[in-house]
Structure 1
Amino acid sequence: MRTSIDARENIDLIEENYRRWQQNPESVDSGWSAFFEGFELGNLPQPNGAAVAEIEAREAALQTRVDSLVYAYCSLGHTIARVDPLAETRPQNPLLSLHEFGFNESDLDLRVSSKFFLDNRPMTLREMVAGLERIYADSIGSEFMHIQDPRIREWVRRRLETRPHKHSTPRAVQVALLRALLEAESFEIFLHTRYVGQKRFSLQGSESLMVILDTILHRCPDGGVAEICMGMAHRGRLNVLANFLRKSLKVIFTEFSENYIPDLVAGDGDVKYHLGYRAVRRLASGAEVEIRLSSNPSHLEAVDPVVEGKARARQRIRGDTEHRRKVLPLLVHGDAAFIAQGIVAETLNLSQLHGYCTGGTIHVVVNNQIGFTTLPKDARSSPYSTDVAKMIEAPIFHVNGDDPLAVKFVSDMAFDFRQRFGRDVMIDMYCYRRYGHNEGDEPSFTQPDLYAKIEKRPSVTQLYKRELLEAGTLSEDDAASLETEFALRLEMTRDEVDAIEKRKASEKAKFRESTAIFQPEYTSTSEPTAISEKTLRTIVDGLTRTPEGFQVQPKIKRIV
């Protein structure tokens, strides 16, 4: 017969093994392990109907919170997206905080999923938030939840989720993007140094426009587009003519000459940054795309309905009046004009009417966040310059112009959206204007803080080149070779134009003494100006004297 002491020893042994098994099942032999597993299984509470219902309700509540989080990012992610290249801090929106959905830091390792995000793929809450941030609140901020058709919303959502990681982009694509940026920057720097003070309405600060245009162009052949009808204002027009339509550099440089006279019957009634052009671009694949850039007046956005009318006419000429996919209208806007000019809303309103539709237009807003000297906060009542496009339920993709890969992604998506749905689509490219409104404007007079920041910022070309060099995608020699190639081409063309100008001047000198126009003899006799020197000095002194203790902006002080 066992004593109570023996029983106590057995209990102690069982408890010791049980404690070890709980900490590490492999620390006890297989017999003990099987015993404890059966013991625990037998002690599990058997579920009843009320318990099951409670578990299901708890799981449903969790799923609702997860789905609400996804929906909030789809709807509001753009409000915290990093789309402004000049922003020092990221925008905040408390409606997107985890606490708003009943989560806290301790919940980040919960396993969750949502049928509204990445095909219901299981992941931790931490991974889900990171994915939502990358897709909806990084360099791209998308507005599409205002679209009433759920099929279109679903297409946009799924397409946004396919955005590739930077490291997965093929080298050839990255080098092609850098090439487009280098071409644009080299052209602007050349004009800036060789034609000092001449108006050209520089593209500098928004060079990624060329990435958008280049991406759309190369999608045209496979997408069924044979022709692009294009309109734009003066900002960056010379760059577009040179590097997108491939207008002769010799002609462009000649137009900068003081003695330039067009060899046209129509005369020379307009400035070079208003001129239209027609070209046929042959791509590396051998495919050809016709591009028609309409001439543009100084009246901003007036060209919009003209381009739509031309596109519709070209569609009729090409026999494409049913689906209207062969001719693509492409309009490039400025942010200030797009929200301010009524003709924009009028043109958008016509976009889906049977008698006016053109199968959808790709709108590109070069959003340099200033209109001449006016900042957005003083120019519009809406959060975005593109808000007017919501009236036709156009999807709007805000994108950081200093992220060329993001710019390319939204350009591809905009092209596919237009070709699939035959509707207007918006690309709102946030960037900046490196210099003034034109080359005669000094922006630091009116926006000193903004332009102090811009002056210190490297260009998108230099930022992207540095990124490729650091990633090992490009070597220093490759980058230098590209830069040298563009610089040499510009210099050689300029030398050729200079030689032609000298020859023309020499020929003109032969006829200097021969003129039928009467030239009156020069006289140095002064004419009365009806104002005394004393009065003039008083006026000038009043205009240039500053109050004592008043701090004058340095550049203005030099002028005064």
Structure 2
Amino acid sequence: ALIRAYRIRGHLIANLDPLGLMERKFLDELHPSDHGFKKEDYNKKIYLREYMDRKYATINEILLFLRKTYCSTIGAEHMHISDPIEKKWFRERMEKKENQLHFTDNGKKAILNKLVQAEGFEKFLAVKFIGTKRFGIDGGESLIPALEQIIKRGGQLGVKEVKIGMPHRGRLNVLANLLQKTYKRILNEFIGEHYSSAKDSTGDVKYHLGASSNRDFDGNLVHISLTENPSHLEAVDPVVLGQTRAKQFFHQDKKRQKVVPILIHGDAAFAGQGVVAECFAMSGVRGHSTGGTIHIIVNNQIGFTTSPRFARSSPYPSDIAKMVEAPILHVNGDDPEAVVHCARIAVEFRQKFNRDIVVDMICYRRFGHNEGDEPSFTQPIMYQKIKKHPSTLSVYAEKLIKEGTISEEEFIIMKTDFKNLLNEQFKTAKEYRPKIEWFEGVWSRYKPERGKDKRGITGVSIDKIRKIGEKITFIPQDFNVHPTIKKIYENKKKMFQTGKGFDWATAEQLAFATLLEEGYPVRLSGQDSGRGTFSQRHSVLRDQKNNNHYIPLNNISKKQKKFEVIDSLLSELAVLGFEYGYALSEPTTLVVWEAQYGDFANGAQVVIDQFVTSGERKWSRANGIVMLLPHGYEGQGPDHSSARLERFLQLCAQENIQVMNCTTPANYFHALRRQIHRDYRKPLIIMTPKSLLRHNICVSNIEDFSKENTIHRVLLDHADVGGYGLIKLKKDTEIRKVIMCSGKVYFDLIKAREKLKKNDVFFIRIEELYPFPVKTLAKHLKRFKKNTNFYWCQEEPQNMGAWNAARNYIEWTLDYIGSENPKVVYIGRNPAASPASGYQKKHLAQQEEIIEKVFKQ
């Protein structure tokens, strides 16, 4: 019981805090008397059975061993692990040599050298750029040799690539001293002379930027990359995990041993940001597991100005990791050898068990939140101690000098040489011209160019469509499919046989299938994506007798690529971040994230704002992710009607994203295929239908998918095209109203026009709302530039939907073609705080009012 008590609670009295601020109350259960031992028994030998790696020991020997192992500058939490093999491994790893790693002299000098670089770099920046924000690592310098150890030991254990995500604090130091981004380049960014070869890049602050490099450790080459991130703490975590998963796919790393993610956190953010818990929740699930993440908390014991007792409700910031039974190593940041030792254990555990592990490095922040901040306003006692406290480098150098590992002269030379190196780099930093690096390797084919608008070949031969149709509608005879699904697949088969009536789900299935057959993987992720929220997709069939799975899209041909469909955990933020990260690393994969309802996409607003819509302009990082957002007003209330189309359109500029509201299955088909067949990558946001999934007019014919066809940014009235049995419209010169719209409302308008027999109202659908198809629209509106009034109709309230974005484009177009009526009039719901009414009667009344306004004289 005494041994177990130390294994469970020893960390509570460990020497973890360099400043001595953490309370270390001695616990009764850690005293022998609490377990029935008397002082006269302390020197008696006790038979220990299998409890320790020795058969006999006295109480004094046991206490000395346990305190060295669990109460020194390392405190371990591993007894919450339920797997006995993992627990035993960790216990033995901790208790081996009393948890002390005996470094060689060369090993100690290597640690010292990294500390010289870490501290020297921060001091150099502080002198050369007084008051400039750099969010230095000052006080947490042991992070640098710890990361070095993870990469080195990881390389020995088969790691080929490491993906790192971290916040701004210490980032410049990691870039310079781990990834070996040249000091000259970083100094150039401080001088403010940073040039990017991307003409329209807005750039970002230097402590948000990423980099990548190859490092050779003892003949083991490891590629290291640090992902760009915003100031939104922890938002980068799922992005890094998605990148890791994609790289594992690229390396065919099924055992997840070659590519390893490292996430570096602050103590306040790790405990406070919910996305951390979401990432832990993803860590063991199919489709999102990366085989374990190494987490390092740079525990400054403060969050901006907030003390730990106000920043969380748990003793440690790391306690959230216990939800997945991750082992936790608490370590004193002023003991670099202990920190490096923990880093080594962390990478070994991760490689052995493919699970998450946390290193909680307790340190301090020598200056304020940034270099211009005065921390003693809010933490006077802490900062009185910090001012008197020697740096980690000073503490460790003194230790090595005392034990004779190095001389004082050697230490001075190390510091002087490094300072001279920085001064040399500084001399030429202003003239330095960096090159854009992200469009290399697999991205070399996808470099964006302004005004580049090639659609790519998205059509497929009818013969191939029919052949693929046979494969994706085939169900094995011995597979006991649900009767309803069997009927759905029989209907699909008829579509391919007759070439008529292709619905939305079948068009999507065909788009995926043709890409897979052409050699492009497809990854679809979202809540209920396998079946589809509206029971429309059924991409994964289940045998009703034995629950076996059959995926038609993975049974097209032997040479096809893999279709991966994931029913994700109930999260938007982490899952979208993950899929964005996946697409960031895999330009040849169609990566699709689907919201259960578009309304819930705003749960991932941070990823949408900081990555999806602005990542390319800030960081020159292209991305081809597709977001499917079910959208449309059917009387389902304020939370099941709107994907907040207006917000996406508000974010549109500089050709950053594509926003579509398709009204035909064929257009959706071409939009998906265009994502892959274009020679550049842009995020695609599609407002997808709900009621239209089974609408009798919202269908396409086989020729619409053929090589003779392509995507249409503007679609004309069904009655104008003909062949649908609709009312015959008047001549163009007699058309009284041209109603422009987008999405489902079009079908409501068609239905009403048939009922009212109004043949002087013409409808035009804007399928792609950004980039807005001005030239195409102008071509179609020329027909009506005389004697016609122009309107924009939408279901959404006036302050929502596409109105505010589309109006200027339309009026500019009308002016361009010389229209007699150059203004466009709004028809739709009045401005509202909530997207939709929760009352069915009110919803129907509002819909009727819209229809009435459209057709009134």
Q: TM-score, normalised by structure 1?
A: 0.75
Amino acid at match of 2:336: P
Partner residue of 1:276? 210
Cα gap change, 1:168/1:213 in structure 2, threshold over 3 Å: closer, same or farther?
closer
The Cα shift of 1:279 comes to: 1.1
Counterpart CA distance in 2 for 1:98 and 1:86 is: 29
The Cα shift of 1:477 comes to: 2.2
The Cα shift of 1:94 comes to: 2.2
Partner residue of 2:303? 371
The higher-RCO structure (CA 8 Å, 6+ apart) is 1
The Cα shift of 1:413 comes to: 0.7
Partner residue of 2:178? 244
Say yes or no: does 1:175 pair with 2:109.
Answer: yes
Partner residue of 2:531? none
Say yes or no: does 1:86 pair with 2:19.
Answer: yes
Partner residue of 1:434? 366
More helix by share: 1
Say yes or no: does 1:298 pair with 2:255.
Answer: no
Counterpart CA distance in 1 for 2:97 and 2:373 is: 40
Counterpart CA distance in 2 for 1:481 and 1:147 is: 47
Given candidates 466, 478, 489, the residue that maps to 2:398 is 466
Partner residue of 1:403? 335
Cα gap change, 1:163/1:328 in structure 2, threshold over 3 Å: closer, same or farther?
farther
Say yes or no: does 1:361 pair with 2:293.
Answer: yes
The answer to whether the 8 A contact 1:398-1:430 is kept is yes
The answer to whether the 8 A contact 1:311-1:327 is kept is yes
The Cα shift of 1:92 comes to: 2.1
Partner residue of 2:357? 425
Counterpart CA distance in 2 for 1:425 and 1:275 is: 26
The answer to whether the 8 A contact 1:229-1:329 is kept is yes
Counterpart CA distance in 2 for 1:117 and 1:461 is: 39
Percent identity among equivalent residues? 47
Partner residue of 1:137? 71
Counterpart CA distance in 2 for 1:350 and 1:217 is: 24
Counterpart CA distance in 2 for 1:266 and 1:415 is: 40
Partner SS, residue 142 of structure 1? strand
The Cα shift of 1:287 comes to: 2.4
Partner SS, residue 341 of structure 2? helix
* Cα offsets for 1:119-149 (capped at 9, x unmatched): 2342221111010001011111111111111
Cα gap change, 1:367/1:165 in structure 2, threshold over 3 Å: closer, same or farther?
closer
Q: Number of residue pairs matched?
A: 432
Counterpart CA distance in 2 for 1:96 and 1:164 is: 18
Q: Within 5 Å, give how 1:20-419 maps onto structure 2.
A: 68-87=1-20, 90-163=24-97, 168-283=102-217, 285-320=218-253, 322-419=254-351
Partner SS, residue 264 of structure 2? strand
The Cα shift of 1:439 comes to: 1.1
Counterpart CA distance in 2 for 1:172 and 1:420 is: 27
The answer to whether the 8 A contact 1:166-1:405 is kept is no
The answer to whether the 8 A contact 2:265-2:295 is kept is yes
Unmatched segments (≥5 aa) in structure 2: 434-857
Amino acid at match of 1:150: P
Counterpart CA distance in 2 for 1:327 and 1:378 is: 37
Cα gap change, 1:115/1:141 in structure 2, threshold over 3 Å: closer, same or farther?
farther
The Cα shift of 1:361 comes to: 0.5
* Cα offsets for 1:476-514 (capped at 9, x unmatched): 22212211121111111112225779xxxxxxxxxxxxx
Amino acid at match of 1:399: V
Counterpart CA distance in 1 for 2:311 and 2:205 is: 28
Amino acid at match of 2:181: K
Cα gap change, 1:421/1:165 in structure 2, threshold over 3 Å: closer, same or farther?
closer
Partner residue of 2:671? none
Q: CA RMSD in A?
A: 1.7
* Cα offsets for 1:324-348 (capped at 9, x unmatched): 1100011000110001000000010
Cα gap change, 1:165/1:393 in structure 2, threshold over 3 Å: closer, same or farther?
closer
Amino acid at match of 2:116: L
Partner SS, residue 366 of structure 1? strand
Counterpart CA distance in 2 for 1:123 and 1:325 is: 40
The answer to whether the 8 A contact 2:82-2:325 is kept is yes
* Cα offsets for 1:286-337 (capped at 9, x unmatched): 32110111100111000011000000000000011x2111000110001100
Counterpart CA distance in 2 for 1:266 and 1:309 is: 27
The answer to whether the 8 A contact 2:93-2:99 is kept is no
Cα gap change, 1:331/1:499 in structure 2, threshold over 3 Å: closer, same or farther?
closer
Counterpart CA distance in 2 for 1:168 and 1:208 is: 17
Counterpart CA distance in 2 for 1:186 and 1:262 is: 28
Counterpart CA distance in 2 for 1:389 and 1:249 is: 36
Counterpart CA distance in 2 for 1:195 and 1:115 is: 62
Amino acid at match of 1:73: Y
The Cα shift of 1:259 comes to: 4.4
Greater shift after overlay, 214-223 or 109-118? 109-118
Partner residue of 1:50? none
Counterpart CA distance in 2 for 1:103 and 1:72 is: 14
Structure number with larger C-alpha Rg: 1
* Cα offsets for 1:67-119 (capped at 9, x unmatched): x1101001111111111111167442222122211223332211124245542
Cα gap change, 1:166/1:72 in structure 2, threshold over 3 Å: closer, same or farther?
closer
* Cα offsets for 1:252-283 (capped at 9, x unmatched): 00000144443433524310000011111123
More strand by share: 2
Amino acid at match of 1:137: C
Counterpart CA distance in 2 for 1:437 and 1:457 is: 18
Partner SS, residue 191 of structure 2? coil
Partner SS, residue 256 of structure 1? helix
Partner SS, residue 197 of structure 1? coil
Partner SS, residue 334 of structure 2? coil
Partner SS, residue 96 of structure 2? coil
Partner SS, residue 119 of structure 1? coil
Amino acid at match of 2:164: M
